[in-house]
Amino acid sequence: MKPLPTLQIDNLSVNFAGSDGPLAAVREVSLAVAGAECVGVVGESGSGKTQLFMAAMGLLARNAAVTGSVRFEGNELLGAAAPLLNRFRGSRLSMIFQDPMTSLTPHMRIGAQLAEVLLHHQQMTRREAWDLARTMLERVRIPDPLRRLQQYPHQLSGGMRQRVMIAMSLLCNPALVIADEPTTALDVTVQAQILDLLRTVRADFGMALILISHDLTVVGSIADRILVMYAGRIVEASPAEELWRAPQHPYSAELLKCVPTLSGPLLSRLATLRGQAPLPHEVGAGCAFAPRCAGATEKCRRERPALSGSAVRQVACHFPLSA
């Protein structure tokens, strides 16, 4: 019998109350993250990738209506009471956000913030908590950890702060870490280091990792499996290697072409997708990508394609690109 997936999301929809009716940010998304795999979620603005996981963790604002099911290690998170959620959040299920400056409390020392997580979720003395915090800072390769523990967030560089966030997410031995654009606000050289750190940490701790990013190359460098989102839905799910080699959804293919390369042939014009992603209220009955798709037909505009395929590879397209 197959082990329980670490995270199982079924038919999750997120609607925000708009002035002219509800706006759908996430539409009936289902996915599963097993054991220790690394899943990359790729999408541009309006894809709903961040709202999807914010909803799963119960972090959305009150004007959001969330339906569906989110099961973490078998426990239903949606609609769960705060005490239950808080048992998981920060310990077994933790999240790393884009801007570490705003996720770390500015007026608390680093050590205090790390210790707070430990003391909240586990039984131990303050002394033990600070020791564990120092150990974790060492594991994320922060030099001179004792001094860092005493410092405030603003005294650290962006890359250093993100390492602290990673340390914080690992403190209680999580089964799943969700990283939302963890390197977007960082310099290129620091980005490479943080990705390397995430890889190491995954190998050491053996937890599952969901990496959300608009940057295909970042996701491609670390993920086992990639989910491509567009206008609130998953349009393609595929092992990373195969997505790079032979994308099936036209959007995935165009997105890959749009990324300018460091070593490929030079282009006099960059590849681009015409138009822009639809706003929530602009999504019609058919395929949301049809207006921008070179191969769109009447059927595409009329009928929305469902996500279908094998257990390993799915695509939501009436005319997927062949391998």
Partner 1 sequence: MSAAILKVSDLSVHYGTHAVVSEVSFDLAAGETVGLVGESGSGKSSLARAILRLIDSSGGSVEWLGEDLLMCSAARMRAKRRELQIVFQDPLASLNPRMSVGDSIAEPLRIFEPGMDAAQRQRLVAAMLQRVGLDASMAGRYPHEFSGGQCQRIGIARAMMLNPKLLICDEAVSSLDVSIQGQIINLLLDLQRETGMAMLFISHNLSIVRHLSHRVLVMFMGRLVEIASRDALFAAPVHPYTRALLSAAALRSPVEPPAEASPKTVGCAYQDRCRYALPLCAASAPPLAALESDLWVACHRAAEPGFRYS
CB of 227 to partner 1, least distance (A): 17
CB of 96 to partner 1, least distance (A): 17
Q: Is 170 in the site for partner 1 (CB under 8 A)?
A: no
* CA separation for the pair 241, 247 (Å, rounded): 10
Q: Is 294 in the site for partner 1 (CB under 8 A)?
A: no
Binder among 190, 246, 296, 321 for partner 1 (CB under 8 A): 190
Tokens of 128: 């033990």
Taking CB under 8 A as the binding criterion, the range among 21-29, 118-126, 140-148, 306-314 that sits at the site for partner 1 is: 140-148
CB of 219 to partner 1, least distance (A): 11
* CA separation for the pair 89, 95 (Å, rounded): 8
Q: Is 219 in the site for partner 1 (CB under 8 A)?
A: no
Please tell me the number of Cα atoms within 13 Å of 112 on its side-chain side: 10
* CA separation for the pair 207, 173 (Å, rounded): 8
Walk across the sheet containing 21-33 and list its strands. 21-33, 7-18, 64-72, 75-76
Q: Using CB under 8 A, which residues numbered 9 to 68 contact partner 1?
A: 44-45
Taking CB under 8 A as the binding criterion, the range among 55-63, 83-91, 181-189, 231-239 that sits at the site for partner 1 is: 181-189
User: Quick check: helix, strand or coil at residue 201?
Assistant: helix
* Range 70-94 burial, b when 16+ CB lie within 10 A, else e: bbbeeeebbebeeeebeebbbbbbb
CB of 254 to partner 1, least distance (A): 7
Q: Using CB under 8 A, which residues numbered 150 to 169 contact partner 1?
A: 157-160, 163
Instruction: State the pairing for strand pair 75-76/64-72.
Output: antiparallel
Nearer to partner 1, 148 or 225 (CB): 148
Q: Is 254 in the site for partner 1 (CB under 8 A)?
A: yes
* CA separation for the pair 128, 266 (Å, rounded): 56
* CA separation for the pair 227, 180 (Å, rounded): 14
User: Quick check: helix, strand or coil at residue 199?
Assistant: helix
Binder among 129, 142, 179, 229 for partner 1 (CB under 8 A): 142
Nearer to partner 1, 118 or 218 (CB): 218
Nearer to partner 1, 189 or 322 (CB): 189
Residues, the chain: 323
Nearer to partner 1, 40 or 58 (CB): 40
Q: Is 191 in the site for partner 1 (CB under 8 A)?
A: yes
Q: Is 269 in the site for partner 1 (CB under 8 A)?
A: yes
Q: Is-contact 39 226, C-beta < 8 A?
A: yes
Question: What are the distances in angstroms from CA 27 to CA 14, 20, 102, 205?
Answer: 7, 18, 29, 33
Q: Is 196 in the site for partner 1 (CB under 8 A)?
A: yes
Q: Is-contact 306 287, C-beta < 8 A?
A: no
Q: Is 213 in the site for partner 1 (CB under 8 A)?
A: no
The footprint of partner 1 on this chain (CB under 8 A) covers a number of residues equal to 44
Please name the residue that has the structure tokens 């670490």. Answer: 6
Please name the residue that has the structure tokens 């973490």. Answer: 72
Nearer to partner 1, 17 or 271 (CB): 271
CB of 141 to partner 1, least distance (A): 6
Q: Is 141 in the site for partner 1 (CB under 8 A)?
A: yes
Q: Is 193 in the site for partner 1 (CB under 8 A)?
A: yes
| Residues found near partner 1 in the complex (CB under 8 A) | 44-45, 141-143, 157-160, 163, 187-193, 195-196, 214-218, 221, 254-255, 258-263, 266-274, 276-277
